[in-house]
Chain A
Amino acid sequence: MNAPLKALDEMVRLTSPFPESVTVKEWKATGRKVIGWFNPYIPEEIIHAAGMLPFEVTGNNEPVEMQGAEAHIYANSCSKIRTCWQMQLDGKYNFLDGYVSSHMCDQDMRLLEVWSYYNKLPYMELIYAPRKRDEVGVQLYLKDLEVFRSRLSEYLICRIPDEHIANSIKVYNRGRELMHQLYELRKRDRPPVTGTEALEVSKAAARMPREQFNELMEQLLDEIQSTGREIKKARRLMVIGSDLHNANQMAALESLDAVVVIDEMDIGIRRAWGEVDTQLPPLEALARYYVLGRPVDKHNWNSDGRLEFIGEMAKQYKVDGILSEIVRFCTYDGWDKFDLKKQMEKRGIPILEIDLEYGHPAGAQVKIRAEAFMEMLESRVS
């Protein structure tokens, strides 16, 4: 039995209760502002450079009943946006001074719109997220980042200077580097952390000041080094698809003598891959990183690279099988489904596809399917 990681416990303590946590309360107590952001095309660095706390708007480990939200956003939309809207209606996000989202998907964009119409915050912004990973996309995105910086500066009544953004880039690059180190450690035959623990680390990264997170990450890596921590499970899994924020879902999976060693989620791997070029003008560097510098994601029209990346990661992390979870009504995941399965079959990697409601615990049906999948993986080995 491995001892709990003290640094992770501290991250969880600081980011609890969710969402208006110890950290948020302390931050607000000093008169500083918190800006909510919704998807991975929002460069937190710009908010950070403005001296505000970037806070990822999500659900967490408890499922949310969404009936109230459905008065404004109908049930044929993804349960992540309905969850977040319900939390707003319940007053859980009252601490936000602003909210910024991108047009990464129709639903993200419309959540901002509903929020803006029914409960406008002092600062609200929408950024375009290019579908193509090319120079045209970079320039289009860069224009929106310039507008984002200008409008946030207006709200702050103080221009956010390049130097501040450059400094924030360094802070966030360090965070990515440390998270990447943790991913590297998970390649070990006996990884030092479970997928559930790694998920909690990723969540904390977007819920507390990045400097503080980086310090705790350094402690976490030292702790792993000094304790020789090892997770002994029979099967190695990869989780791909929609973002999970309910760590209990991951824990339920890992209760089946398996450990999640790698993921392909925006909340996971994309938060820990690559770095922003510190030699370029800061906004251009951010535009290049966010459009081109991370693994291809589901919203990119040409997702060939995404499917290849999943296959490559599965190989590097020696996974026995892949769990592809899709939050219902995710159009992007839906259109990758057919080819993803074909390509993984070609690579000889078993894949289990599960449709979920965001944040809701895996029900009995899902559990039965996951158990059957594990049995199948076991029979392959024997």
Chain B
Amino acid sequence: MSTHTMLTIKDFQEGLKKGKEGVKKQPGLMRSTAGFFDMLSTYVDRIATAKDDGKLVATHGTQQPLEILEAMDVRGVFNEFWGGVGDMIRLESVPQALAVSASTGTPGEVCSFFRNMDGLMHAGKWPRSDMFLYATSCCDNVKAFHTLGRRYGIPSFGLERSYVPYTAHAIEHWKNEYKRLIAFLEEQTGKKMDYDRLKEVVALSYRLTELHLEIDKLVATVPCPLAPECYSGTLLAIRLLPGTQQAVDYLEDLRDELKERVAKGIGAIENERFRVMWTSFTPFFDPTLQSFMQKKYGAVSVCDMLSHWRGDAKWLLDPDDPLGNLAYRTLLAPGNCQYSSGVDVATNLSDKARRFKVDSAIFNNNWGCKTGAAYATVVKDELMRLSKVPSLIIHCDVLDHTFISRAEIEGQLDSFFEMTETSKAYKERRNLQ
């Protein structure tokens, strides 16, 4: 079976470098776009040089307290990032990796974030990993980490979490789970956790949260100052490099640029017709779809569920209790929202819709995601009930661009935006009546 289009870590490094050179040549892009590529390169380079630097690498799934890894000099490879950014670099890699995964017997009905990892590992193209880390989330696929660990002889550790996370007992439980994770990491690395360093890392991570919230406020401005090329910057800084100065520097630059744009009244586009909220995930499978939507429909992406902070996000309660803070952060952090019920998700999104002045929502129903398949309609109906925001549901694969064609999506978007524009709620929101 051919594996030539499948990305190696070297391809990631080169692709990101080329990407940065490319954006420099393109006029009209936000200047933070180069910083976005720099941040991604930093992340990938840290993984590539880990062995030479004497650091261990952990492949991990969502819901990980990466601050603990950072404080213990363990470098993380987030499997979802690897697929999403892989699509930015070379779209043909994922379908081939999925084919390799299928050849091992893994069914095509499981999530392609994991099948992509499975295929790349089988082909020897996944970054060298010393351990696998995972956690209960709203995703049963995390079992893949144990399975692959068994297959390749790589030690793994899973964080067990209760489904109803918003209780004092649950937070105490998570704190204890983090202690178990630290014990596992100490065993793997042969080093003891330096709690003073962890406090510093946690403080930097909190700084990222503050910046994220500042940026959110700026993005909520009409017209929206954030262009698609920088849309994922905030989320990736938070999800890939929490507790690092590089991520703080990047978000400070992004915030400053957004401030300038707001002050000058510069929007992502001149004629902003629709403000869009992504209620499951942004279209990783089609990295240029957001730009396309902007050009064709005047539809600007303003917010999404994956980068949603619950409540006021003030999670640094006691600077001397880093694990307690991290446990509490888990409750509020982006990526945790869908862990809850669809009604709760819709309630959070409804608040977001109000703050970001959203006109329409798009729910990407990932073929391999059982949560999305079973709660999309609850989210859609409840969001409509609470805030009169209509939803389009796109049946897609989170990574595989061959699952649904751009033409088919375009047809759906044509009707959706036409319907939105003629709706009473839209007209009222925009004072068009």
Q: Which of A77, A328, A338 contacts B373 (CB 8 A)?
A: A77
Query: Residue A144 at the B interface, CB < 8 A?
Result: yes
Chain A residues, Cβ within 8 Å of B365 = 74, 76
| Segment 120-149 of B: residues with Cβ below 8 Å from A | 134, 136, 138-147
Q: Which of A72, A110, A336, A355 contacts B371 (CB 8 A)?
A: A110
Q: Which of A105, A299, A338 contacts B105 (CB 8 A)?
A: A338
| Segment 324-383 of B: residues with Cβ below 8 Å from A | 341-343, 365, 367-378, 381-382
| Segment 218-275 of B: residues with Cβ below 8 Å from A | none
Contact (Cβ within 8 A) A335 B147: yes
Chain B residues, Cβ within 8 Å of A335 = 106, 110, 141, 143-144, 147
Q: Beyond A113-B342, A301-B146, is A106–B140 a contact (Cβ under 8 Å)?
A: yes
Query: Residue A246 at the B interface, CB < 8 A?
Result: no
Contact (Cβ within 8 A) B373 A302: no
Give bound CA distance, A126 to B382, whole Å: 20
Chain A residues, Cβ within 8 Å of B151 = 338-339
Give bound CA distance, A353 to B107, whole Å: 11
Chain A residues, Cβ within 8 Å of B147 = 303, 335-336, 338-339
Q: Interface residues of B: mostly helix, strand, loop or mixed? A: helix
Chain A residues, Cβ within 8 Å of B342 = 110, 113, 117
Give bound CA distance, A110 to B341, whole Å: 8
| Segment 67-124 of B: residues with Cβ below 8 Å from A | 104-107, 109-111
Chain A residues, Cβ within 8 Å of B377 = 71-74, 114
Chain B residues, Cβ within 8 Å of A71 = 377
Give bound CA distance, A353 to B173, whole Å: 39
Chain A residues, Cβ within 8 Å of B107 = 326, 328, 334, 337, 355
Q: Beyond A110-B375, A114-B375, A337-B105, is A331–B163 a contact (Cβ under 8 Å)?
A: no
Inter-chain contact total with CB atoms closer than 8 Å? 140
Task: Tell me the nearest residue of chain B to A75, going by C-beta.
Answer: B373
Query: Residue B169 at the A interface, CB < 8 A?
Result: yes
Q: List 15 A-B contacts (CB under 8 A).
A: A74-B374, A76-B109, A77-B374, A81-B374, A110-B375, A113-B343, A117-B381, A130-B160, A140-B160, A143-B169, A301-B143, A334-B106, A338-B105, A338-B106, A339-B151
Q: Which of B104, B162, B376 contacts A144 (CB 8 A)?
A: B162
Give the contact-size bracket for chain A. Answer: 35 or more
The stretch that binds B, out of A4-12, A131-139, A189-197, A226-234, is A131-139
Give bound CA distance, A32 to B368, whole Å: 41
Give bound CA distance, A150 to B199, whole Å: 39
Contact (Cβ within 8 A) B374 A132: no
CB proximity of B152 to chain A, nearest CB, Å: 11
| Segment 316-354 of A: residues with Cβ below 8 Å from B | 326, 328-329, 331-332, 334-339, 341, 353
Q: Beyond A128-B163, A140-B160, is A117–B378 a contact (Cβ under 8 Å)?
A: yes
Q: A117-B343, A328-B107, A334-B109 given; name 9 further pairs at CB < 8 Å.
A: A74-B374, A106-B140, A107-B370, A117-B378, A131-B160, A303-B143, A331-B140, A334-B107, A337-B105
CB proximity of A236 to chain B, nearest CB, Å: 25
